[in-house]
Amino acid sequence: MCADLSWTNRTLLVCDRSSFLDHKNRVSSQVEQLHFTYKVSLLLPGCSSTPSYLDSVLKSFTSFYLIRKLPIYELLDKDFLKRAVYQGAVYGLSFRTRMDEDNCVALMPNGHLVLSLDKDSFEVLGFEGKPSRFNHRWVVSVDLTDRSMAPGGRGYLKLLTGLKSRLQLQTDFLLSHHPGGGASLQPLLSRYDWSEHKPEVSRRCLNDLTCPSPRSCDPHSLLEWLGAVDADVSSENSSSSFLSSLVCPEADSRLRHALSVCVSGLLLPDHLLRLIQELRYHLQQPQLESWVSLTVHGFTDSPVSWGDGQQRVSNGGHTFYSLMMFHDHTYHLYRSPGTPHTGPP
C-alpha cells in the first residue's frame, strides 16, 4: 500500500502563556468557544482528597437529559422555541451518531441548528445548505432566532415540512439548558422517553508520582505525561514490548500525593468557568503545590468544533485544550485544534 503523505493534514499544538490578571487573557473566550464538552480532567498535586470548595463546584454542575428517538422537527416546536431557545442558552447534540456514517445534529447556545447530512438525506430534506469542507457531506445551518425563521414564516415552514414529512430524521438526543434547566424543557420531555443525568465524577489518589517541571517541560512531552496520568498509564520509561514507543519526560520531582479527578457528561461552559475560578482560589491555599492542570475534551462526533467551525473526524475527531495554572495567576494554555481550518480563535 502506498500513501501520499503530502495530503496528510498537520496536527497543531498552540501554547499561550499569559496571566489571569491581564484583562486581554483568552481563557474565558477559549472555554466559551467549545460548546460541547464531554470530559474534564483535573490533576491536583498535594491533595489526597477533593477540597470541600472544589467538591461543591463539581456537585453544582447542571443535570442534562437524554431523549430517546427524538424527531428533530420537535426542535422547531413553537413552545420549545419560546420557553428555551429564545430565553437562554440551549445545548443539544445527537447521541451515539457517528460523523462519518450517520446524520448528526447540534443545537447551539446561540440558537443555531446545525445538521450534518449525507448527500441523499440532504436532497430529501430540500433545504438550503453547503457542502462540507472536509468530506462528502452537506451542512445545513439555520439561525432559529432570525426573523426569517419565526414560526409561520416561509423559511420556518420549509424546514419544518422537510424534517416532518420528507426526511423524518430522529435520533437519541442530549439536551441541557441554562439558566432555565429542566423546567423550560419539560413540555418537550413529557412527550418522549427521557432520563435525567448528573455529570459523573470519579477520583483517583496517586502516591509517589514522578513529575516533570510544568513551566519548563516541552509542551508535547508535558501533554503526553498528563495523558498518561489521566489514563492511569505508568510513566516509567522502560518498555517491555517493542510495540510501545511512548517515552514520558524525565521527572524533575516526585509528588508524595496527587489527586486525579474526572468529570464526564454534557458539561456547559459556565460549569468550567466556575471551576477555573475555584481552582485559582485553590492555588492560593498554603502548603500546596504551585500548580494545577485542567484538560477539556469536546465530543468527537459533534457537527461543530470551535465556535461555528465544522468538525473533522478523519483528522482524529477530537478537540481539546489543556490549562496549566500557577499560584502567581499565570497560566499556560495548550490547544490542539487538529487542522488549521478548525482551530479555536
- What DSSP assignment string belongs to 245-308? ---PPPPSEEEEEEEEEEEEEEE-HHHHHHHHHHHHHHHTSTTS-SEEEEEEEE-TT-SB-BTT
Q: Which residues of the chain have pLDDT under 50?
A: 1-8, 314-317, 339-343
Q: Are 72 and 145 in contact (CB under 8 A)?
A: no
Let me know whether 48 and 81 are in one domain: no
Let me know whether 193 and 203 are in one domain: no
Let me know whether 235 and 274 are in one domain: yes
Let me know whether 156 and 71 are in one domain: yes
Residue 294 resides in a domain: yes
Residue 13 resides in a domain: yes
Domain's final residue, options 197, 213, 242: 197
pLDDT at residue 342, rounded to an integer: 46
Domain's final residue, options 197, 223, 242: 197
pLDDT at residue 182, rounded to an integer: 77
In the predicted model, what is the mean pLDDT of the chain? 86
Residue 344 resides in a domain: no
Q: Residue 153, CB half-sphere, CA atoms under 13 Å: how many? A: 12
State which amino acid sits at residue 63: S
Task: Indicate the Cα dihedral angle 281, 287, 289, 294, nearest 10°.
Answer: -30
Q: What distance in Å separates the CA atoms of residue 185 and residue 66, rounded to the nearest whole number? A: 12
Let me know whether 81 and 18 are in one domain: no
Let me know whether 109 and 24 are in one domain: no
DSSP-derived secondary structure for 19-74? ETTSTT--HHHHHHHB--EEEEEEEEET-SS--HHHHHHHHTSPPEEEEEEEEGGG
pLDDT at residue 264, rounded to an integer: 96
What contacts 36, CB < 8 A, 6 or more positions away?
Answer: 91, 93, 106, 266, 298, 299, 302, 304
Let me know whether 34 and 129 are in one domain: no
Q: What distance in Å separates the CA atoms of residue 294 and residue 332, rounded to the nearest whole number? A: 11
pLDDT at residue 340, rounded to an integer: 40
For residue 244, what are the CA distances in angstroms to 209, 237, 240, 250?
A: 21, 10, 8, 17
Count of domains observed in the chain? 2
Residue 178 resides in a domain: yes
Domain's final residue, options 176, 197, 218: 197
pLDDT at residue 4, rounded to an integer: 47
pLDDT at residue 216, rounded to an integer: 86
Three-class DSSP category at 140: strand
Let me know whether 42 and 105 are in one domain: no
The domain of 20 spans: 5-61+199-336
For residue 65, what are the CA distances in angstroms to 81, 197, 198?
A: 17, 6, 9
Let me know whether 241 and 318 are in one domain: yes
Q: What distance in Å separates the CA atoms of residue 249 and residue 304, rounded to the nearest whole number? A: 34
Let me know whether 85 and 45 are in one domain: no
Residue 345 resides in a domain: no
Let me know whether 68 and 188 are in one domain: yes
For residue 299, what are the CA distances in angstroms to 46, 174, 200, 216, 331?
A: 31, 12, 16, 30, 25
pLDDT at residue 7, rounded to an integer: 44
pLDDT at residue 245, rounded to an integer: 59
Residue 98 resides in a domain: yes
Let me know whether 210 and 185 are in one domain: no
Q: What distance in Å separates the CA atoms of residue 16 and residue 30, rounded to the nearest whole number? A: 11
Residue 100 resides in a domain: yes
Residue 343 resides in a domain: no
